[in-house]
């Protein structure tokens, strides 16, 4: 998954949130200019990089050098890689270390990593000294197209994932697409599910383009920057309309209600990564929409064929290992999903490729029959 560095102008996507507006800068090799970009935005500031141990091994030195050569004093805080770092314990440690590094109002936190580091580092930035600025430097595909955009930050609690957090926007996002060359292929593929999602939920042309160019996105060709930019533009537009998810932002949950149930059933483990669950969930959302007569079956089949070609699971059978829970337990997981409002199931369904909509008009019995069929077809 390695391609030569390309020069050429980076792509800039603005997130239009009034006086909290910021740019997402996308390009291959951009990390070299990180320090310069930060120095321009906040002259004279210090910075602390929050990262995880795996990302640190690959990319921390380059990020530190870039900051230092722009005259920015830099400290680093490392946490273990993985979801378990989104905890109260690790949040406390990160806050303490940021304060020990004398990060003050006017200084910066730089979150260098995947969604875990972005969520944890961003949340810590929102808390210390009642909020200091932060910059996202996403290093996974999922983080470049999803978690670094839109200002949701959180940790997990005993009660569930992402239940303790804040809406807190960064002042800049620098997405260096070359950093993805060191990302394990399975993680890349999982992130790709969120890329396809933007096509499926609101942009049929983008889906058509991906159907032709997805291999170049994976290989690190010029299509990678384009795919990331289109994804960021799509999310930025939705976030600008609905920052706090009271309406349109819910469309971003396409594939997530079904997906989340399977992800939870797999215990949020390696058995099924988030993006893989989203791939499966989107396949199910299209199939379910076809079954309700909202779209022709051929449209669902096309989507499923694309997801499968890219190596994402589209069928429960494809999920490795597993004692799947009973139908009742699965229905519980679906109705406990945070997308439930006042006891009604909220689903994102489709009227076509690129035409997702939010509905609360889904009969629980119908969903139950659909899930039963999926669970029964496992073997
Ligand atoms: N804030 C939001 O809006 C939002 C949206 C979606 C997901 N999320 C959160 O994002 C998290 C998932 O993000 P993720 O998939 O990036 O997980 P992650 O941060 O755990 O990264 C996945 C793995 O890849 C490694 N990695 C990351 N970049 C690498 C690189 N360039 N080279 C080599 N290894 C690298 C990490 O160390 C980790 O082991 C979840 O906690 C989820 O809740 C947040
Ligand atoms: Zn997702």
Q: How confident is the model at residue 319 (pLDDT cuts 50, 70, 90)?
A: confident
Q: Given this model, what pLDDT does residue 379 score?
A: 55
Ligand 1: does its nearest atom lie under 6 Å from the Cβ of 31?
Answer: no
Calculate Rg over the CA atoms of the chain: 20
SS3 annotation, 136-187: EEECCHHHHHHHCCCCEEEEEECCEEEEEEEECCCCEEEEEHHHHHHCCHHH
pLDDT digits (tens, 9 = 90+) for 359-379: 988 888 899 999 999 888 765
Q: Given this model, what pLDDT does residue 5 score?
A: 53
Q: Which of 224, 253, 287, 374 is catalytic?
A: 253
Task: Return the DSSP state at 120.
Answer: H
- Please state the pTM of the whole predicted model: 0.95
Q: What percentage of the chain carries pLDDT values higher than 70?
A: 94
Q: Given this model, what pLDDT does residue 339 score?
A: 56
- Whether the pLDDT of residue 131 is over 90: the answer is yes
Ligand 1: does its nearest atom lie under 6 Å from the Cβ of 355?
Answer: no
Q: How confident is the model at residue 7 (pLDDT cuts 50, 70, 90)?
A: low
Q: How confident is the model at residue 1 (pLDDT cuts 50, 70, 90)?
A: very low
Q: Given this model, what pLDDT does residue 346 score?
A: 85
Q: Given this model, what pLDDT does residue 324 score?
A: 75
What is the Å distance from ligand 2's center to 195 Cα?
Answer: 10
Q: Given this model, what pLDDT does residue 133 score?
A: 98
Task: Report the mean per-residue pLDDT for the chain.
Answer: 93
- Whether the pLDDT of residue 3 is over 70: the answer is no
The lowest-confidence range among 169-173, 241-245, 353-357 is 241-245
Q: Given this model, what pLDDT does residue 33 score?
A: 97
Q: State mean pLDDT over 4-28.
A: 87
Q: Given this model, what pLDDT does residue 160 score?
A: 86
Q: State mean pLDDT over 149-172.
A: 95
Q: State mean pLDDT over 335-341.
A: 62
Q: Which of 249, 306, 339, 374 is catalytic?
A: 249
Q: Which of 235, 306, 339, 374 is catalytic?
A: 235
Query: Is 14 labeled as catalytic in the residue annotation?
Result: no
Residue nearest to ligand 1 atom 21, measured at CA: 114
Q: How confident is the model at residue 159 (pLDDT cuts 50, 70, 90)?
A: confident
Q: Given this model, what pLDDT does residue 341 score?
A: 57
CA–chain centroid gap for 343, Å, is 27
Tokens linked to 293: 């007569």
Query: Is 253 labeled as catalytic in the residue annotation?
Result: yes
What is the Å distance from ligand 2's center to 56 Cα?
Answer: 24
- Cα separation of 157 and 91, whole Å? 12
Number of H helices, E strands in the chain: 14, 11
Q: What percentage of the chain carries pLDDT values higher than 90?
A: 78
Spatial contact of 132 and 109, defined as CB atoms under 8 Å apart:
yes
pLDDT digits (tens, 9 = 90+) for 58-77: 999 999 999 999 999 999 99
Q: Given this model, what pLDDT does residue 364 score?
A: 85
Query: Is 89 labeled as catalytic in the residue annotation?
Result: no
What is the Å distance from ligand 2's center to 253 Cα?
Answer: 7
Q: State mean pLDDT over 197-216.
A: 98
Helix (H) / strand (E) element for 63: namely helix 61-69
Q: State mean pLDDT over 182-209.
A: 98
What is the Å distance from ligand 1's center to 113 Cα?
Answer: 7
3-state class of 48 per DSSP?
A: strand
């Amino acid at each position: 998954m390695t391609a030569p560095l390309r020069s050429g102008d980076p792509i800039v996507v603005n997130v239009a949130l009034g006086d909290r507006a910021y740019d997402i800068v996308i390009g291959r090799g951009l990390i070299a200019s990180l320090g310069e970009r930060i120095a321009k935005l906040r002259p004279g500031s210090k910075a602390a990089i929050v990262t995880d141990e795996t990302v640190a091994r690959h990319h921390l030195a380059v990020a530190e050098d870039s900051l230092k050569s722009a005259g920015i004093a830099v400290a680093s805080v490392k946490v273990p890689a993985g979801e378990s770092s989104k905890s109260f314990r690790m949040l406390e440690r990160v806050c303490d270390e940021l304060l020990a590094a004398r990060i003050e109002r006017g200084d910066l936190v730089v979150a260098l990593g995947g969604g875990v580091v972005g969520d944890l580092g961003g949340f810590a930035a929102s808390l210390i000294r009642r909020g200091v600025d932060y910059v996202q430097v996403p290093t996974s595909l999922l983080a470049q197209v999803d978690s670094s955009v839109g200002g949701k930050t959180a940790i997990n609690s005993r009660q569930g994932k992402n239940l303790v957090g804040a809406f807190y926007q960064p002042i800049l996002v620098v997405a260096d697409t070359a950093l993805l060359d060191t990302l394990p292929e399975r993680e890349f593929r999982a992130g790709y599910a969120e890329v396809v999602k933007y096509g499926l939920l609101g942009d049929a042309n983008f889906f058509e383009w991906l159907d032709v160019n997805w291999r170049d996105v994976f290989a690190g060709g010029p299509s990678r920057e384009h795919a990331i930019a289109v994804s960021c533009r799509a999310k930025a537009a939705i976030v600008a309309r609905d920052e706090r998810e009271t309406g349109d932002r819910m469309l971003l949950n396409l594939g997530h209600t079904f997906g989340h149930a399977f992800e939870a059933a797999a215990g949020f483990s390696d058995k099924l990564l988030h993006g893989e669950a989203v791939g499966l969930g989107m396949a199910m959302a299209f199939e379910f929409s076809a079954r309700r007569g909202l779209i022709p079956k051929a449209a669902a089949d096309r989507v499923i064929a694309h997801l499968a070609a890219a190596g994402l699971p589209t069928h429960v059978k494809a999920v490795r290992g597993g004692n799947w829970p009973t139908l009742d337990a699965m229905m519980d997981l679906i109705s406990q999903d945070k997308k439930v409002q006042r006891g009604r199931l909220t689903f994102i369904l489709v009227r076509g490729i690129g035409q997702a909509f939010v509905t609360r008009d889904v009969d629980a019995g119908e969903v139950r029959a659909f899930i039963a069929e999926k669970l029964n077809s496992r073997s």
